[in-house]
Amino acid sequence: MESRAILNADGHAEQPAPPDDARILGIESSCDETAAAVVAGGQTILSSVVASQVDIHRKYGGVVPELASREHLRQIVPVVREALGQASVALPDVSAVAVTRGPGLVGSLLVGVTYGKVLAMALGKPLIPVNHLEGHVHAVLLEAHAARRQPDLPAICLIVSGGHTILYRVIGESTKVVANHSNGRDSIQVFHYARIGGTRDDAAGEAYDKVAKMLALGYPGGPIIDQLASFGDPRAVRFGETKMRGNVHDFSFSGIKTAVFYHLRKHAELHAEIAARAEALARGEKKADALKPLCSKATLDLVASFQRAVVGDLVRRTMSAAEEYKSRSVLVSGGVAANRELRASFEEVAKREGVEVYFPSRALSTDNAAMIAAAAYPRYLAGEAADATLNAEANLPLA
Ligand code: KG4
Ligand code: ZN
């Protein structure tokens, strides 16, 4: 490759840093998505393949663990092969194998961990275990870095998905580089996390899924409620603000879910349309276009009010944490981060309060393996690796 001298701000010649050719193969199988990706230099996605099992779990209205692990077993080899093919990277050219170690469904995690372990051993490459939640943080950092945006640290991070609703402080620390692919650097920033709050009952995405189930809107509930909410009046049904005793940075979504349940019990006139939608779902209709004509104004208002209450709570508690910890940056990640009202509301409040808010693209909001490879990158450069004793950990905490 051609090497050119460039001039720095003082007019002195500077050698460009050699390209960082670390190619990390990421593998993710913590829940109901089998995913593999190749990420170069920690921030360039060469491929990201996600095989979703949503069609398998839809008729049960939630993930069935036994079916999930069986499907991961069927998908893992073709998905990894596809990711390598799309990236035009041959297995021997992979620098390291990164795999989600937890948290998640143990049977699902075991498929990825076992496969990743055997692959890394066969290739003689480092095996980097990654916490799924750290992956979600890196889904944001990956795209921010690629866009040359550098969130101010320590930042506040909200991870909000079907399984989690947690607030962390993200702290950066400079660490010595020991791996070859150093891009000329001798230090790299690694990240530490401090948990400052989280849900005491349901995760926000779980509340979306359960409310969608009660209303016969299909599975997963988030995307359809997101679409239907824009047609309703968010002030029509009043849900009281959730008060938290003790840690004010905690969340609770079971109250609002129960409020929807009692609302439906009280409004028997909504039951016929619920039965009609259940029939439509059984016929395989699942798109908002097909279900919206089967929703009365009262249902659209209920959906809009539910979403307004959840979004309001998420934004209020996250921004109050940012204020308390004097953070100038807020990161929002996980499946619910794809929600349009959540994004718009965060943008508006953050702008008013002079805080920068960072979201992943919608594709990287939900589970994927690019975020796992990106999270592994600084750990790989810092020389962290697991041995053959690595095991899946269903309840692995991030902090
Ligand atoms: O991160 P993810 O793919 O898997 C977990 O780790 O849980 O998140 C899936 C969750 C589901 O509960 C789904 O209903 C929710 O994210 N979700 C949304 C939206 N898209 C997905 N919730 C609200 N609005 C959305 N647009
Ligand atoms: Zn997730």
- Nearest-CA residue for ligand 1 atom 22 is 222
Residue 272: the pLDDT is 98
Domains 23-151+179-191+367-381 and 204-360 equal at CATH topology level: yes
Ligand 1 site-directed mutation target among 33, 108, 132, 208, most atoms within 8 Å of CB: 208
Q: How far apart are the CA of 363 and the centre of ligand 2, in A?
A: 12
Residue 327: the pLDDT is 97
Nearest to 189 by CA among 70, 42, 65: 42
User: 395 φ, ψ to 5°?
Assistant: -110, 25
Which uninterrupted H or E stretch holds 281?
A: helix 271-282
Residue 146: the pLDDT is 85
Q: How far apart are the CA of 183 and the centre of ligand 2, in A?
A: 30
Residue 10: the pLDDT is 41
Residue 393: the pLDDT is 97
Q: Which atom of ligand 1 is nearest to the CA of 367?
A: 3
Give the other-Cβ count within 10 Å of 87's Cβ.
23
Fold of 23-151+179-191+367-381: Nucleotidyltransferase; domain 5 (3.30.420)
Half-sphere exposure of 133 (CA within 13 A, CB side): 29
**Which residue type sits at 257?**
K
Distance (Å, whole) CA 321 – CA 312? 14
CA 31 to chain centre: 12
Give the other-Cβ count within 10 Å of 144's Cβ.
20
Residue 182: the pLDDT is 62
Compute CA distances 230 → 28, 128, 234, whole Å: 33, 42, 9
Give the other-Cβ count within 10 Å of 252's Cβ.
17
Ligand nearest to the CA of 62: 1
Q: Which residues line ligand 1 (CB under 6 A)?
A: 31, 161-163, 205, 208-209, 220-223, 226, 334-336, 338-339, 366-367
Domain 204-360: CATH superfamily is ATPase, nucleotide binding domain (3.30.420.40)
Please enumerate in sequence order all residues whose Cβ is within 8 A of that of 115, keeping only pairs 6 or more positions apart, or say none: 27, 76, 77, 80, 99
The residues spanned by each domain of the chain are 23-151+179-191+367-381, 204-360
Nearest to 193 by CA among 143, 235, 158, 146: 158
Residues of the chain with pLDDT under 50: 1-19
Q: Which atom of ligand 1 is nearest to the CA of 203?
A: 12
> What is the pTM for the complete model shown?
0.92
Strand order in the sheet with 33-40: 44-52, 33-40, 23-28, 96-102, 127-131
Q: How far apart are the CA of 348 and the centre of ligand 2, in A?
A: 25
